[in-house]
């Protein structure tokens, strides 16, 4: 007889069956020309450490002291950096939901229907199989604390995607609300927010980042020693609105402009929370057997004008600065600190953590992955690594305009080359990031063979993903699900003093889409 976990896993895979058949034809998106690899056979495979993934919101590669920022103070993350394997060429998607979709499903976000951060286009396809589902089936306890942003409807929330413990806000940020399903609890603020905890709203006390880390720490303490755990801590900071406790803002008030001071203050607050968490892991005697990953979800939204590590582009850009982020992997029992220069991405986290946990990945799911296991590279800086391409497309086109947006805000990366579209089929700029990290010189005319090859790969990628865009014509509900649930639970204004109907008279989606570039 199959165990309950096995039955649950088969149920999840059955939900993804419709996607599996298409996945075989889609596997080249971010892994072309090399196919997604089978399990690597690394000696780290099946070691089953505890895993903590910290992913901050709208913080870029240059928004840390350890990556060269001359202003910001991040001593705890700097220490983590010094004790970690550091991927120096690690990439994500240009905005929030796309990165989270690619991370969860191990394939380009368009393959899971995610092409925006609002307008129902932020919702992860129910057909996608996520790596937390695999970890749960492999005996891990799983929890998420903070931002989800892959669907606020009941059947899209993280408890349906492999997370046993959920402690989340709605939409792309605390207090956000848009037409349709994407919206947080009414009247929410960064201080004392109402948070959805395992399907029930709770009024919390304190600053949001502190609240998320504290809840994660309580959950970890309850489970340590009982079974391996995976905790995803995803604060909505330093996403706007730029709000932080006053003492953090004051640290930078005389060094940068007011908005950057708040942005940096939010990051320093995150840093203190990371320090407290690391101290707890040591106190609980689980530090050596816990893998801590620190990364961010896109390029900087606010700090790039102060320091951007010499890169071009920021959040919402297909240039290098829009997708390159910090990625630090600390596991004292197994990993020796050092840099890794391989071209790596959020797509690689799914196969890496599945292999590390000894989780079974069905052949059909593996065939649809665009990522590779990082375990060989984590263990050995000289390990072989595939020749791969990473395709970036910002998406966010107007409703009904997907087919004609093929060349809008996109790029393709292979080796040292980054090819960026100027908006047409034969309008590509080419940069050699090794010799020109700031993308100052277009060398397309000097390398027509490279342009031709990358353009052909991009054309095939677009043809593969276009049929997958299942959310483009979706129509959302009249009331945000988080608001509807809040008013039902509290029977009225509730602890946020938000009367029923508040926040629902939003601008029409086309007008809101422009403002939502910060989402």
| pLDDT > 60? residue 60 | yes
Which among 379, 407, 441 is the end of a domain? Answer: 379
User: In this structure, are strands 410-414 and 417-421 parallel, antiparallel, or unpaired?
Assistant: antiparallel
Report if residue 297 sits inside a domain: yes
- Residue 111 in contact with residue 465, Cβ under 8 Å? yes
Q: Is the pLDDT of residue 111 over 80?
A: yes
Residues 358 and 442 in one domain: no
Q: What is the pLDDT of residue 31?
A: 34
Question: Which domain CATH number covers 154?
Answer: 3.40.720.10
The angle formed by the CA atoms of residues 59, 166 and 222, to the nearest 5 degrees, is 105
Least confident of 402-411, 492-501, 508-517: 508-517
Say if 318 falls within a structural domain.
yes
pLDDT for 118: 98
- By CB neighbour count within 10 A (0-12 exposed, 13-18 middle, 19+ buried), where does 432 fall? middle
Q: Are residues 301 and 420 in the same domain?
A: no
For the chain, the maximum distance between any two Cα atoms, rounded to a whole number of angstroms, is 67
**For range 499-515, the mean pLDDT:** 55
Backbone φ/ψ region at 456: left (φ over 0), alpha (ψ -120 to 50), beta:
alpha
369 & 452 share domain: no
Mean pLDDT value across residues 406-416: 98
Q: What is the average pLDDT value for the chain, to the nearest integer?
A: 91
Q: Is residue 198 domain-resident?
A: yes
Asked, for residue 43, whether it belongs to a domain, the answer is yes
**Domain assignment of residue 487, yes or no:** no
Q: Which residues contact 5 (CB under 8 A, 6 or more apart)?
A: 136, 137, 138, 139
* Residue at which a domain ends, from 350, 379, 408: 379
Q: List the domain range (segments joined by +) for residue 195.
A: 4-379
Same domain for 349 and 396: no
Determine which helix (DSSP H) or strand (DSSP E) holds 86, and give its type and residue range: strand 85-87
Check pLDDT > 60 for residue 91: yes
412 in the same domain as 452: yes
Q: Angle at the Cα of 377 (from 111 to 337), degrees rounded to 5?
A: 120
Please name the residues in contact with 498: beta carbons below 8 A apart, sequence gap of 6 or more.
Answer: 185, 186, 187, 486
Same domain, 353 and 398: no
360/237 same-domain check:
yes
Give me the pLDDT at residue 504, please: 59
Is residue 190's pLDDT more than 80?
A: yes
Cα distances (Å, whole numbers) of residue 233 to 27, 53, 136, 147, 163: 29, 6, 17, 8, 12
E-only strand ranges, 110-207: 141-146, 165-168, 194-197, 200-203
**Could you tell me the two tokens for 281?**
């892991």
Q: What's the pLDDT at 40?
A: 76
Among candidate residues 468, 490, 511, the one where a domain is terminated = 468
Say what percent of the chain tops pLDDT 90. 88
Q: Which of 376, 456, 71 is nearest to 252 (CA)?
A: 71
- Using the Cα atoms of residue 311, residue 314, residue 95 and residue 218 in order, give the sign of their dihedral: positive
DSSP-assigned beta bridge partners for residue 165: 143
Residues 154 and 267 reside in one and the same domain: yes
Nearest to 378, CA basis, from 402, 355, 401:
355
In a domain, 438, yes or no: yes
Residue 28 has pLDDT above 50, yes or no: no
**Sign of the torsion angle spanned by Cα atoms 41, 46, 49, 50:** positive
Distance CA 297, CA 56 (A): 6
C-alpha–C-alpha distance, residues 47 and 500, integer Å: 50
Over residues 100-116, the mean pLDDT reads 98
Cβ–Cβ contacts within 10 Å for residue 39, how many? 15
Provide the pLDDT confidence category of residue 505 given band limits of 50, 70 and 90. Answer: very low
Both 348 and 424 in one domain: the answer is: no
**Strand, coil or helix: 203:** strand
- The answer to whether position 271 is within a domain reads yes
- CA distances, 379 to each of 36, 42, 84, 477 (Å): 19, 8, 12, 48
Instruction: Read off the pLDDT of residues 317-363 as tens digits, 9 standing for 90 and up.
Output: 999 999 999 999 999 999 999 999 999 999 999 999 999 999 999 99
How far is C-alpha 481 from the geometric centre of its chain's CA atoms? 23
- pLDDT 10s digits, 470-489: 999 999 999 999 999 999 99
Tokens of 496: 């946020």
| Total domains, the chain | 2
How confident is the model at residue 7, as a pLDDT? 45
**Does residue 248 share a domain with residue 130?**
yes
174 and 200 housed in the same domain? yes
Q: What pLDDT is stored for residue 501 in this prediction?
A: 87
Strand order in the sheet with 85-87: 200-203, 194-197, 165-168, 141-146, 229-234, 50-56, 290-296, 327-330, 85-87, 338-340
CB contact at 8 A, 337 and 82: yes
> Are 338 and 458 in the same domain?
no
Q: How many residues does the chain have?
A: 519
pLDDT digits (tens, 9 = 90+) for 200-252: 999 999 999 999 999 999 999 999 999 999 999 999 999 999 999 999 999 99
User: Is residue 483 assigned to a domain?
Assistant: no
**Burial annotation 91-116 (CB, 10 A radius, 16+ → b, else e):** bbbbbbbbbbbbbbbbbbbbbbbbbb
Integer Cα distance of 63 and 92 in angstroms: 16
């Amino acid at each position: 007889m199959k165990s309950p976990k096995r039955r649950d896993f088969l149920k999840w895979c059955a939900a993804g069956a419709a996607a599996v058949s298409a996945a075989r034809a889609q596997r080249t998106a971010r892994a072309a020309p090399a196919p997604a690899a089978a399990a690597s056979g690394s000696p780290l495979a099946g070691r089953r450490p505890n895993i903590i993934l910290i992913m901050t919101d709208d913080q870029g590669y240059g928004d840390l002291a350890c990556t060269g920022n001359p202003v910001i103070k991040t001593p705890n993350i700097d220490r983590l950096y010094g004790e970690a394997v550091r991927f120096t060429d690690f990439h994500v998607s240009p905005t929030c939901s796309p990165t989270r979709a690619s991370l969860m499903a191990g394939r380009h976000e368009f393959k899971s229907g995610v092409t925006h951060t609002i307008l129902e286009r932020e919702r992860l396809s129910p057909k996608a199989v996520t790596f937390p589902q695999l970890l749960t089936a492999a005996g891990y306890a799983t929890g998420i604390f903070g931002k989800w942003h892959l669907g606020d409807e009941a059947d899209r929330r993280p408890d349906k995607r492999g997370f046993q413990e959920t402690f989340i806000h709605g939409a792309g940020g605390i207090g956000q609300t848009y037409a349709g399903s994407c919206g947080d609890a009414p009247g929410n603020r960064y201080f004392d927010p109402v948070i959805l905890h395992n399907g029930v709203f709770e009024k919390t006390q304190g600053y949001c980042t502190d609240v998320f880390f504290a809840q994660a720490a309580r959950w970890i303490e309850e489970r340590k020693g009982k079974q391996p755990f995976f905790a995803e801590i995803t604060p909505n900071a330093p996403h706007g609105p730029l709000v932080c406790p006053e003492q953090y803002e004051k640290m930078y008030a005389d060094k940068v402009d007011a908005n950057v001071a708040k942005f940096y203050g939010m990051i320093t607050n995150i840093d203190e929370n990371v320090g407290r968490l690391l101290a707890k892991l040591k106190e609980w005697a689980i530090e050596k057997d816990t893998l801590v990953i620190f990364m961010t979800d896109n390029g900087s939204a606010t700090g790039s004008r102060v320091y951007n590590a010499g890169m071009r582009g920021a959040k919402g850009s297909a240039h290098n600065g829009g997708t390159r982020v910090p990625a630090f992997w600390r596991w004292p029992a197994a990993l020796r600190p050092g840099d890794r220069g391989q071209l790596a991405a959020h797509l690689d986290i799914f196969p890496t953590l599945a292999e590390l946990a000894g989780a079974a990945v069905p052949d059909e799911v593996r065939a649809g992955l665009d990522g590779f296991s990082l375990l060989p590279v984590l263990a050995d800086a000289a390990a072989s690594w595939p020749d791969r391409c990473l395709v970036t497309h910002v998406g966010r086109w107007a409703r009904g305009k997907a087919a004609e947006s093929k060349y809008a805000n996109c790029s393709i990366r292979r080796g040292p080359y980054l090819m960026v579209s100027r908006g047409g089929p034969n309008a590509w700029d080419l940069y050699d990031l090794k010799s020109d990290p700031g993308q100052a010189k277009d060398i397309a005319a000097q390398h027509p063979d490279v342009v031709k090859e990358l353009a052909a790969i991009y054309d095939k990628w677009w043809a593969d993903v276009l049929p997958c865009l299942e959310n483009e014509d979706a129509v959302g509900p009249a009331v945000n699900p988080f608001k509807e649930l809040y008013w039902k639970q509290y029977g009225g204004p509730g602890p946020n003093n938000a009367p029923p109907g508040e926040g629902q008279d939003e601008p029409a989606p086309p007008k809101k889409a422009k403002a939502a570039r910060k989402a």
